[in-house]
């Protein structure tokens, strides 16, 4: 992360910390913040594997659901909600390894289809294990929950953690290995990069962060249903958000997650049955105009502004 990016991130963090005080703890603002932070954290977590390593996974809803159900099941058994988050993260990490070890033998579209099957299979399992998940009825959780301000800052902490971890990964040896895998897996493997190891580390790291978000989601909504936490829309959303914002970048998931939630909140009201179509059209437009997403567009605008003053200050050519 450059010095300019660090300053921008710090300024943004300070502004977000002060938002509840500026708006006097408005319930609407807090709800907006919590859900936006949830989407951004999911996008940032997915980006570690999908962006840095170029491994497109459609199965991250499985980890979100595991985190949610771990929190819900333990909370109903008397655990403090905050103490359930590490348990959900550990469960997601173990499951990610169980899935990753065979799944990463596949490449390209075969890997993407395989992970999609995992996410859908987890939904079916949850619907048929009533003793743990409540089956088709879901789990109704206790109504005694922390204030909304707690959720706002909890989700903000999760976003900061995802951003800092992503920045650290990108600058580390792990990040260089993941970049090499994205550019040319065969060349990276021939250069001594342990392909399976680095893929599984990135996969597990993203799974842990997504599971923590799923646990906070469960406490926030006080209700969990397999169609919600294991739904295909969650998996496709995690893929779309980084691509819209700028896959493989630090700021792309933040921009993409914010825009995605704003669009979803609007489209589900106006076009409840066509929002996925709108997302697809938006994705195609962005990929055609600028494959690097919103971050690429902003970079192009910045370069254009720098060139204009330079061109204006150049002396006019002498006439013969």
CB 34 within 8 A of CB 145: no
CB 169 within 8 A of CB 175: yes
Token pair 């704003």: residue = 262
Distance CA 139, CA 99 (A): 26
Instruction: Using the Cα atoms of residue 260, residue 283, residue 165 and residue 17 in order, give the sign of their dihedral.
Output: negative
Token pair listed for 97:
């390894």
pTM over 0.85: yes
Distance CA 56, CA 237 (A): 12
pLDDT tens-digit profile, the chain (320 residues): 678 878 888 999 999 999 999 988 789 999 999 999 999 999 999 999 999 999 999 999 999 999 999 999 999 988 988 899 999 999 999 999 999 999 998 888 889 889 988 888 999 999 988 888 888 888 998 876 778 899 999 999 999 999 999 999 999 999 999 999 999 888 888 888 889 999 999 999 999 999 999 999 999 999 999 988 998 888 888 998 998 898 999 999 999 999 888 887 777 676 666 666 777 777 787 777 777 788 888 877 776 666 655 555 555 444 44
User: Looking at residue 319, what DSSP letter applies?
Assistant: P
Query: Would you kindly state where each structural domain of the chain is located, as residue ranges?
Result: 28-233
Going by C-alpha positions, the residue among 56, 92, 32, 48 that lies closest to residue 240 is: 56
Average pLDDT, the chain: 87
């Amino acid at each position: 992360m450059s010095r300019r990016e660090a300053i921008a991130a710090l300024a943004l963090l300070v502004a977000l910390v002060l938002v509840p005080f500026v708006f006097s703890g408005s319930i609407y603002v807090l709800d907006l913040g919590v859900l936006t932070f949830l989407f951004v954290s999911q996008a940032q977590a997915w980006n570690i594997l999908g962006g840095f390593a170029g491994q497109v996974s459609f199965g991250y809803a499985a980890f979100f659901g595991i985190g949610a159900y771990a929190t819900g099941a333990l909370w109903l058994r008397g655990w403090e909600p905050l103490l359930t988050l590490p348990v959900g993260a550990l469960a997601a990490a173990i499951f990610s390894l169980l899935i990753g070890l065979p799944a990463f033998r596949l490449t390209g579209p075969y890997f993407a289809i395989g992970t999609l099957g995992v996410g859908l299979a987890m939904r079916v399992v949850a619907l048929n294990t009533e003793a743990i998940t409540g089956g088709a009825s879901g789990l109704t959780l206790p109504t005694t929950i922390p204030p909304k301000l707690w959720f706002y800052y909890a989700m903000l902490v999760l976003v900061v953690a995802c951003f800092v971890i992503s920045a650290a990964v990108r600058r580390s040896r792990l990040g260089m290995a993941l970049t090499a895998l994205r550019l040319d897996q065969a060349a990276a493997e021939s250069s001594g990069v342990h392909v399976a190891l680095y893929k599984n580390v990135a996969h597990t790291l993203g799974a842990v962060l997504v599971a923590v978000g799923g646990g906070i989601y469960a406490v926030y909504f006080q209700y969990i249903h397999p169609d919600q936490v294991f739904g295909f829309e969650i998996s496709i959303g995690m893929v779309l958000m980084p691509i819209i914002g700028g896959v493989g970048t630090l700021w792309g998931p933040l921009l993409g997650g914010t825009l995605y939630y704003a669009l979803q909140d609007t489209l589900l009201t106006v076009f409840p049955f066509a929002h996925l179509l709108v997302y697809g059209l938006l994705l195609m437009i962005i990929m055609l105009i600028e494959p690097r997403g919103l971050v690429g567009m902003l970079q192009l605008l910045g370069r254009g502004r720098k060139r204009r003053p330079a061109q204006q200050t150049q002396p006019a050519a002498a006439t013969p």
